[in-house]
Every structure is written in structure tokens, then in C-alpha cells.
């Protein structure tokens, strides 16, 4: 049965439906002793199903040596009372309750949610400083930064109903709020589309003391008006990414390619793809990022459970490891754990 999906919809298949589609995962784990920090996953309660400790640990138990993870904001657990500006602090409180500090993971690591990246509305300007301080206080020593989506597209491509205005990274009010990150030793996770990378480069140049992490390889779209234009999008994406990489305060996450926004149609198959198939499709994007940023500024992410639309947790890390099979031991150490440990201040 062929499956269809509207990339602008939040209607993911349920976990049970995905389990049936993915089937029994018989792939042998590649390089099972290679330490990994998964730099991007979520926790949530949604109509489509929960992704909480049990579901996360089921994925982390896939056989890969995941020693630590970083939680990235997704609008979960917000406070329902009090000032609106402080409501996102509830998400940090939710993560700390769900994953206590030092909780042993399935592969032996005690760094599950060792880093927490929350949300604040930078458009509030200087009001955000006490909100950031409240996140830090709530984070039990694990709060590392903020993600504020910059995504905008003329075709209306969005995600989870959270589109933002055009040119947000250039907005004066946004920047008045943004300037409070560096003094508090907080980083910025940037979720942007490929045609907005020049704006992100401008932001990085204006705030050279703020660490900026590009999410999901910089958003090379492949749906809507970008469908069938992969080569043209790739060229524009690469040019924009080079402008961002020119700023030494930037780094990039290698992942998110399992999202349907990028135009890969693995979800149409009768069953989930294997790692070799994914690696062949994703390799040009991953290797371009590593070429531009270097292993010392590139870090892998699972983006689970979102990327579970396309593959299992075991398969996604096998795909990454297939892409980097010929890299040196030191390059792999940086890409899979060392860069992440430095960027998110995680002790392995």
C-alpha cells in the first residue's frame, strides 16, 4: 500500500503504525563501540502518541553506543499559568521531571538529556533575560541554549503549525532578545530553510560571541515548489551554507534528512528502507556539510522521533556510519561525540 503525507501537516502516523511499517529490524549494528552523543531528539505528549522515557529508551537500546543526548525544544510541557513570556520554561521543567539527572541509559551512558535546549520568544527584546535565567534555574545544571525557529517560505511550508515571519533573524526586536545569550553562556539552535541561510550568516557575523548551531543540515527543501528541482536547490543551499560556515562561531547538525520536507520518498515504500539506501541518498548533503564546516564543527543528530517517519533508530545511525566508513578514527570521534561534547558542554 502506498502511503501519502502532507509535509505541512503535523499528522504523523502513530508509533504502532510506524512499528508495523518499519517491521523487524535485522540490520547488524555497525561500529557498535563508537561512542555517540545524539545531539537532537524530542520528548512529547501529542494526539498522535507519546514519545517519553520508555519510547526514547526503546530507541536508544538499538545497539549503538549512545552515551549522551541533547533534548531540543518542541513545544512540550509549557506552563499553563503565569506570564506568557515564562510559559516555555515549563518545557525545561518537564524534561527534568521526565529524565532526572544521571539516569542510566540503555547503553550505559548517564548523559541522557545531558543538554537541554529550550525556547524563548526573542521578539520580546530585553524581557527575555529573566526568562533565560529562569530556564537556567529550572535546568538542573543542564540548560544549554535556545532554539527559535526562523523558518519562513513563500509557499507556506511549515512544521507543527509554527511558521514565523519572513526575515525574523534580521528583526531589531529579535536581535535585542538574542544579544542576551552570550553573556549567559547560552547557544542558539537555528532551524531555517536553505533560502534563508544568508540571513543566518548575517546573524552569526553580528553576534560572533554566540555559538550558533544550524539544525537539520540547513533545510534543503524538496517539496512543494522545490519538488523536482534538487540540483538547483542543492547549489543554492551549498552557497548559503558556505556563507554561514565562514563564521567560526557556527556549527552544523548532520541529520533531519528523514523529514519529508526534504523530498525523499522512502515513506512511500511497502516497508522502511535499509541504511545503504539512506546513505546513498543522504551522502552528498552530509559530506558537503563536513567539507564546509570540518569535523570539528559538525555533529550528528537523530532528530527522533520525527525522522522515524523514514527509518528506525538503528538504521539511521547505520546510515550515518556508512557515510563516514572511510573517515579516520579521529574524524569519527569528532563527528559522533567530541564536537557535540564541546558545543553543548557535555562531559562523557
Q: What is the pLDDT of residue 299?
A: 98
Task: Give domain status of residue 14, yes or no.
Answer: no
Averaged confidence pLDDT in the chain: 92
Q: Catalogue the long-range contacts made by 9-14 (C-beta closer than 8 Å, 24 or more residues apart).
A: 10/46, 10/48, 10/159, 10/160, 10/161, 11/48, 12/48, 12/305, 12/306, 12/309, 13/48, 13/309, 14/48, 14/49
Task: Give domain status of residue 5, yes or no.
Answer: no
- Asked whether the beta carbons of 78 and 118 are under 8 A apart, the reply is no
Q: HEC states along 83-135?
A: CHHHCCHHHHHHHHHHCCCCCCCCCCCCEEEEEEEECCCHHHHHHHHHHHHHH
Q: What is the pLDDT of residue 32?
A: 97
Average pLDDT on 243-264 reads: 96
Task: Give domain status of residue 20, yes or no.
Answer: no
Q: What is the pLDDT of residue 4?
A: 31
Task: Give domain status of residue 105, yes or no.
Answer: yes
Q: What is the pLDDT of residue 159?
A: 61
91: phi then psi, degrees, rounded to nearest 5: -70, -40
Output the CA–CA distances (angstroms, integers) from residue 187 to 33, 98, 183, 197, 316, in the order listed: 29, 23, 10, 18, 26
Q: What is the pLDDT of residue 110?
A: 74
What CATH number is associated with residue 251? Answer: 3.20.20.140
The pLDDT tens digits for 76-91 are: 999 999 999 999 999 9
Output the CA–CA distances (angstroms, integers) from residue 319 to 39, 165, 199, 281, 298, in the order listed: 16, 35, 31, 10, 16
Task: Give domain status of residue 37, yes or no.
Answer: no
Q: Residue 96 pLDDT > 80, yes or no?
A: yes
Q: With H, G, I as helix, E, B as strand and everything else as coil, classify residue 58.
A: helix
pLDDT classification of 11: cutoffs 50, 70, 90: very low
DSSP designation for 168? G
- Helix 275-293 with 313-323: angle, nearest 10 deg: 50
Q: Residue 8 pLDDT > 90, yes or no?
A: no
Q: Residue 245 pLDDT > 50, yes or no?
A: yes
Q: Residue 5 pLDDT > 90, yes or no?
A: no
Domain span at residue 317 reads 43-343
Average pLDDT on 273-302 reads: 98
DSSP designation for 274? P
pLDDT classification of 238: cutoffs 50, 70, 90: very high
Task: Give domain status of residue 233, yes or no.
Answer: yes
Structural domains in the chain (count): 1
pLDDT classification of 49: cutoffs 50, 70, 90: confident
Task: Give domain status of residue 17, yes or no.
Answer: no
Task: Give domain status of residue 25, yes or no.
Answer: no
The pLDDT tens digits for 181-211 are: 999 999 999 999 999 999 999 999 999 999 9
pLDDT classification of 157: cutoffs 50, 70, 90: confident
DSSP designation for 304? B
Q: What is the pLDDT of residue 322?
A: 98
Q: What is the pLDDT of residue 2?
A: 30
- Asked whether the beta carbons of 145 and 187 are under 8 A apart, the reply is yes
Q: What is the pLDDT of residue 164?
A: 80
Most confident of 98-107, 269-278, 319-328: 319-328
Amino acid at each position: 500500500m502506498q502511503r501519502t503525507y502532507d509535509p505541512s501537516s503535523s499528522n504523523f502516523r502513530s508509533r504502532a503504525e510506524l512499528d508495523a511499517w518499519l517491521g523487524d529490524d535485522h540490520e547488524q549494528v555497525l561500529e557498535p563501540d563508537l561512542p555517540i552523543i545524539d545531539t537532537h531528539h524530542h520528548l512529547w505528549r501529542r494526539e498522535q502518541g507519546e514519545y517519553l522515557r520508555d519510547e526514547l529508551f526503546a530507541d536508544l537500546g538499538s545497539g549503538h553506543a549512545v552515551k549522551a543526548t541533547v533534548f531540543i525544544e518542541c513545544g512540550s510541557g509549557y506552563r499553563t499559568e503565569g506570564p506568557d513570556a515564562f510559559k516555555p520554561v515549563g518545557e525545561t521543567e518537564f524534561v527534568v521531571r521526565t529524565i532526572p539527572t544521571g539516569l542510566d541509559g540503555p547503553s550505559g551512558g548517564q548523559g541522557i538529556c545531558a543538554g537541554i535546549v529550550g525556547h524563548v520568544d526573542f521578539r520580546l527584546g530585553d524581557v527575555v533575560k529573566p526568562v533565560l535565567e529562569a530556564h537556567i534555574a529550572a535546568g538542573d545544571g543542564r540548560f544549554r541554549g535556545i532554539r527559535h525557529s526562523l523558518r519562513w517560505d513563500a509557499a507556506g511550508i511549515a512544521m507543527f503549525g509554527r511558521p514565523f515571519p519572513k526575515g525574523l533573524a534580521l528583526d531589531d526586536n529579535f536581535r535585542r532578545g538574542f544579544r542576551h545569550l552570550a553573556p549567559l553562556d547560552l547557544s542558539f539552535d537555528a532551524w531555517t530553510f536553505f533560502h534563508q541561510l544568508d540571513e543566518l550568516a548575517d546573524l552569526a557575523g553580528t553576534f560572533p560571541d554566540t555559538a550558533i548551531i544550524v539544525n537539520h543540515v540547513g533545510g534543503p527543501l524538496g517539496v512543494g515548489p522545490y519538488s523536482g528541482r534538487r540540483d538547483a536547490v542543492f547549489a543554492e543551499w551549498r552557497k548559503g551554507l558556505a556563507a554561514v560556515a565562514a563564521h567560526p562561531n557556527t556549527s552544523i547538525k548532520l541529520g533531519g534528512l528523514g523529514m519529508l520536507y526534504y523530498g525523499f520518498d522512502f515513506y512511500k515504500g511497502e516497508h522502511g528502507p535499509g541504511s545503504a539506501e539512506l546513505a546513498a541518498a543522504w551522502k552528498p548533503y552530509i559530506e558537503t556539510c563536513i567539507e564546509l564546516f570540518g569535523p570539528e564543527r559538525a555533529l550528528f543528530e537523530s532528530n527522533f522521533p520525527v525522522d522515524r517517519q523514514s527509518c528506525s533508530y538503528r538504521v539511521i545511525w547505520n546510515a550515518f556510519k556508512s557515510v563516514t566508513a572511510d573517515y579516520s578514527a579521529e574524524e569519527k570521534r569528532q563527528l559522533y561525540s567530541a564536537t557535540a561534547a564541546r558545543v553543548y558542554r557535555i562531559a562523557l
